Each structure stands twice: as C-alpha cells, then as structure tokens.
Amino acid sequence: MFLNNSIVKLLNITYPIIQGGMVYCSDYKLASAVSNAGGLGTIGAGAMTPEELEINIKKCKDITNKPFAVNIPLISEYSNTHVRICVDLKVPVVITSAGNPVTYTEYLKKNNIKVLHVVSNTKFAQKAESAGVDAIIAEGFEAGGHNGKEETTTFVLIPLISKSVNIPVIAAGGICTGKHILAALALGASGVQIGTLFIASEESSAHVNFKNKIINSKEGDTMLCLKKIIPTRLIKNEFYNQLLKMEEENNYEQIKNIIRGRPKMGMLEGNIEDGMLEAGQNVCLIDEILPVSKIIENLINEFKQEYYKLQEKFNL
Amino acid sequence: MFLNNSIVKLLNITYPIIQGGMVYCSDYKLASAVSNAGGLGTIGAGAMTPEELEINIKKCKDITNKPFAVNIPLISEYSNTHVRICVDLKVPVVITSAGNPVTYTEYLKKNNIKVLHVVSNTKFAQKAESAGVDAIIAEGFEAGGHNGKEETTTFVLIPLISKSVNIPVIAAGGICTGKHILAALALGASGVQIGTLFIASEESSAHVNFKNKIINSKEGDTMLCLKKIIPTRLIKNEFYNQLLKMEEENNYEQIKNIIRGRPKMGMLEGNIEDGMLEAGQNVCLIDEILPVSKIIENLINEFKQEYYKLQEKFNL
C-alpha cells in the first residue's frame, strides 16, 4: 500500500509510522515492538546514561532485525557520547531534537546513518535541510512534552513546512487515529510520528498509573506551560497546579528547582499527582491500553477505511 | 462533485465552504460574494445595530438569490432583535455563537430557518445537538478571535466532536487551502468554515491596512491572549503588547477598560498598532488579497489536485 511512500523507502519500513522517542516511556521493548509491527521504533535516549543506551540498543537488536531509531535530544549532557554509541553500534536511524542539526548530521550520515530532525518552525526546518538531514519531523502545538514558542498547530505547521523545504516531512502532534494519518498526508506530510498513543501501549516503559491517566483524560486535561523556560505540554495534576501558581508569580528560580526529578517521578514511578506527566492534547481520543501490534493494525485499518469513505464522498 | 455532501444538501449550496461571520469584516458585500461563488456567505451581526443588520440583509438579497447566513453572537446586546429581524426578513440560515443554543433554535427552526451553532468542545456540541441545530461548527485553537478555554486544536477537535454527535460537523480554525479542506473531511467533518482568508479578500469590509497586515504576517505572529476573560487570538502589535503586560500584572480591570472600541479601531479603521486585530494562526499561509470568486476557485482546484495526489500515493 505504501510502496511509493518516500518515508517508507527512506527508512526501509512497511508503514510510514514513526514512534516518537519519549523519556522514561520508550526503551528497547517499545522500540522493537513498533519496528516488528512495521513502523519505525525509537529508543528515547533523553534520560539514559551511555551505559543504559548501549544496553537498550543491543537488546533492541536481539529482538528485531528491522530498522529502528535512537532519539537524541541535543541538550542532553551525554549527546556527544550517545552519538558515538549509535555510530559504533550501527544504529540505522538517529532522530535529533532540541538543538542545532549542524552539530552531528554530517558525521552520522558519513557513517551511513539516516538522520531525521525534529522542528516546530520553518527557520529550523530549513536549517536542518541545509545541514543535510534526510527528513524533517514537524511537531505541532498538540504534541506532548517540549514544544515550540510559536504555538503553531499541526494543521497550520504541516502545509507551512511542506512548502518551505524539499525533503520529506513527517507530521507530529495530535496523531492517534487512521483519520489523523490520512489528514496529515492530505496536508502535505509523507509520514507521521506518534508519541502519546504509544505511551498507552502494553510495551511502553511508562508506569501503569501514567498509562491509566492518559486513557482517562478528557479534552482540556493537558495544557502548554513553562512558556518562559521551555514550553511543555503536561497533563494537569497537583504538580501542574503548583507550576501554574509559580508562573503567575513569575517565580522562575523556584520552578527550575522544583522540576528536577519530576518527569521520572511521574512517568516512570507512577506518582501521577506530584510527578510531571508529558502527554499530547489527544489524550482525549485515547481510550485503552493495547499491544503495539494491535495499535498499528488499528491505525492502518482505520486509515484504509477512511480513505475509501473519502473516495465515496466525491464524484471525482 | 459535492452532490452527496450533507452540508451542501442541507444548505442548498455548491461547495461545503462557509464564510465565518466576523465583526467589522463581513458585511453584505462579502456575504453576497461568497454565496454567489457557491459557498455560504455570512453577514457578521456582532457589531451591528438592528438598523444596520436590516440594511445589510436587504442589500445582500439584492445582490444574490443564493442562500446566505447571519451570524449572531448571543452575547450581543441586540441578539433578541437580531433574531427577530432574521425571521422577519426570511434569512435562510442563522449561525449562533457565544451563548446558549437552546435560546433561539426552536423559534428559528419553526420559521424554516436552518441553524448552525459554533462550539469549541464536546459538551456544547452535544448541547447544541439536543437543542435541535442542523449542524455543528467546531472551531479549533487556530481560529482568530474568540476561542475555547480548552485550547483544543482543529486536528484534535474534529475527530472528537465527530464521534460525539450525530449531526454534520463543519471544521473551523486554521483552514485556508484546499489541503485543509481535504484534511478536514478526512478528520470527519462534512464541510469547513473559513474566516481569516476571507478577511484578506477584496470584498471584505476590513480596512486595507488590516488586510495587508494579514498577508504580511508570519508564523508566531498571532497568539491567544485574554485567557482569563475570554480567550481571543490576536495579531501581535503594540496593543497586544500592552494587553500582555497587563495580563502579567493581573490587571484585569484595566484590560476591560482598554479593550473598548479597539476591534473597530484596528479592523475597520485600520490603526494596526493601537487597534485589536482578530485573526487566525494561518495568517502565515495567506499571501495575497484576492477577489472572493478567485479564492473559492483556488480552494476547489487545490482540493481536487490534492485529492488526486492522495489517490496516486497509494496502491489501494
């Protein structure tokens, strides 16, 4: 079905579905499950030590012989070592984010690694294209976790980035159904990156309390906050309320102190009131925890159904 | 092409494109131009006196014999009189917004007027359906002007509302290209409402300075503000900066005083620094001022092109 799709061809996968690399939620178990199901699984290296990353890559290779990726946020203290490990262990794809795409792209590509870079605006998309990355992941305001200052939504961002660069664009932010995949392709994307939906999978390393919080959340239950430090979309909870109060009091020093350790506390350890819970606005559309293989099967089946429905709708 | 489309059939129009009713920008000239071009034109009654609305409806009927709408924000001091005028003058469609859909729906429908209601969340969509409206206009975070507290984007809102109600859903917020129309239909909508793109038409009553400001604005140039009073998306300018400062100082009394008269000053009188400029996030995708007929022709042509491209992309 996707034989002519540029992302499928570039990454040598079956479906143009990339699993986002998410701190504390996406270790080798999730990545290998997504890759085995025909998408591109991603190990989120953001909160890993070099030793942990090495173990995760090796275990991922034990479980799948399909391509997979490592996501390296370039603000990570270990980014340099992480990049070297990916080269040494011949990781097929590296996704860079939160930093300058010039830093490692040439080195990675020389070592036959495909490079994708995450952006939230045109300026960085064009910078990444110039740096030689293979494709852009354009992430809208709906996305969980770190986010762009412009607050540009997926619906506006994808047509904008698509006409600004000549390399393939992967849509991210808000995607969790086959309808979204069809809409993303209609907007000009060649593929999608999905995060929050995969947190709510059986294979993700997120604490079950966090998974349950996602499937029980409704519209309006996530909000973009920390706008003056680094815009971040969180599920509202007791900790979010504290942050909000400190923001209103312009108490940024206190915020910087209080956020340490909170992502781990919330997402890995399952303290859903006092921890930080990064998730997308589409939590309101996610209702059950499923195995990755079933999630991808559902996405593709719904995509096909919606595509046929669209065909039937018009006398073209 | 859209013969089986539920919005086209409901409203007796050619294309499922509704022009949003916008204060100071959409009088009878814009409404009649959109209706004559095959969409549903809308007179924005928000800032009109009863006398002005009456004149606008009569002039609209002189110029077009196609269906058109009047948008009545239910918070308007004249909403009761406006509704009566629409009944007396046999306006084909009334779009209600910013208020309780129960108030006038039954009365309007008894008088053979089709009723659409604008919402930004599931709760009000279901309330409007219960009140008997013919279709829901679901407006995402991208939209210009007044906006929902949940900040739900079009990409997330349309699938959510579509599965929550059994009447047709019209997508609004961020739409300004044929790609967007295709994506909105893929997400579950039956039609679209377009606002900002029509402000930048030759026929809109917006001041030319405001039109030029729209076509010259880039990504990040609009932002949602006034979140504690009524969330409103504005183009950033000197007045926006003043509002932002007052919001940071929690100076809401001062805000309520200062905003009086500012929409008119900005959008109708063309003071683009000191006036309030309501516009959608998609200003970054709008590059020229065109006649309405050309805008609709472009939208439909691009829609068809993108639909064929999508067909070619898959081996289905």
In this prediction, residue A6 carries a pLDDT of 95
Band (A248; pLDDT cuts 50, 70, 90): confident
Element (H, E) at A68: strand A68-73
- Mutation target among B1, B5, B139, B153 for the A interface, most CBs of A within 10 A: B153
Q: Do A179 and B173 touch (CB under 8 A)?
A: no
- DSSP letter for each residue of B56-83: HHHHHHHH--S-EEEEEETTSTTHHHHH
State whether residue A105 sits within 8 Å of chain B by CB: no
Rounded to the nearest angstrom, the minimum Cα separation between A113 and chain B is 26
Judged against a pLDDT cut of 80, whether residue B206 lies above it is answered with: yes
Average pLDDT (B102-113) is 97
Cβ pair B281:A182 closer than 8 A: no
How distant is the Cα of A53 from the closest Cα of chain B, in angstroms? Answer: 34
pLDDT at A286 over 90: yes
Nearest CA in chain B to A154: B155
Q: Would the CB atoms of B315 and A173 count as touching at under 8 Å?
A: no
Higher per-residue confidence, A164 vs B76: A164
Q: What domains can be seen in chain A, in order of their start residue? A: 6-205+283-313 (3.20.20.70), 218-281 (no CATH)
Inter-chain touch B180–A187, beta carbons under 8 Å: yes
A-chain CB neighbours of B306 within 8 Å are 186
Q: Which residues of B touch A307 (CB under 8 A)?
A: 310, 314, 316
Chain B residues 40-59 within an 8 A CB cutoff of chain A: none
| List of chain A residues whose C-beta atoms are within 8 Å of the C-beta of residue B174 | 153, 155-156
pLDDT greater than 90 at residue B116: yes
Residues of chain B with Cβ-Cβ distance to A183 below 8 Å are: 155, 182-184, 186-187
Nearest-by-CA chain B residue for A301:
B316
Cα B37 to Cα A114, A168, B286: the distances in Å are: 48, 35, 20
* Binary contact (B304, A316; C-beta < 8 A): yes
pLDDT tens by residue, A81-136: 999 999 999 999 999 998 999 999 999 999 999 999 999 999 999 999 999 999 99
Three-class DSSP category at A37: coil
Cβ within 8 Å, pair A285-B159: yes
Q: Do A307 and B315 touch (CB under 8 A)?
A: no
Task: Check residue A154 and give its pLDDT.
Answer: 98
Mean residue pLDDT across chain A = 96
Q: Which of B5, B149, B184 minimises the CB distance to A220?
A: B149
- The Cα–Cα gap between B124 and B149 comes to 12
What pLDDT, on the 0 to 100 scale, is given for residue B316? Answer: 58
Q: What is the mean pLDDT of residues B145-156?
A: 97
Closest Cβ–Cβ partner in A153, A177, A307 for B174: A153
Angle at which helices A122-131 and A154-162 pack, to 10 degrees? 40
- Which pLDDT score, from 0 to 100, does residue B1 have? 82
Can you give the pLDDT at residue B312? 80
User: Is the CB of residue B247 less than 8 Å away from at least one CB of chain A?
Assistant: no
Residues of A in contact with B173 (CB under 8 A): 155
Rounded Cα gap, residues B108 and B157, in angstroms: 27
Joined tokens for residue B275: 């006036």
Q: How far apart are CA B279 and CA B140, in angstroms?
A: 13
Q: What is the pTM of this model?
A: 0.97
Q: Residue B26 and residue A223: Cα distance in Å, rounded?
A: 33
Question: Residue B179 and residue A173: Cβ atoms within 8 Å?
Answer: no
Q: How far is B115 from chain A (nearest CA, A)?
A: 24
Tally helices (H) and strands (E) across chain B.
Answer: 14, 11
Interval A202-208 mean pLDDT? 98
Interatomic CA distance for residues B135 and B131, integer angstroms? 11
- pLDDT at position B315 is 64
Candidates A8, A158, A219: best to mutate against B (most CBs of B within 10 A) is: A219
Task: Give A121→chain B minimum CA distance, Å.
Answer: 8
Complex ipTM more than 0.95, yes or no: yes
Q: Does B306 touch chain A (CB under 8 A)?
A: yes
pLDDT at position A72 over 90: yes
Nearest one of A271, A237, A277, A275 to A258, comparing CA atoms: A275
From A248, which residue of chain B is nearest by alpha-carbon distance?
B248
A311 to B314: CB separation less than 8 angstroms, yes or no: no
CB contacts < 8 A, A to B, total 154
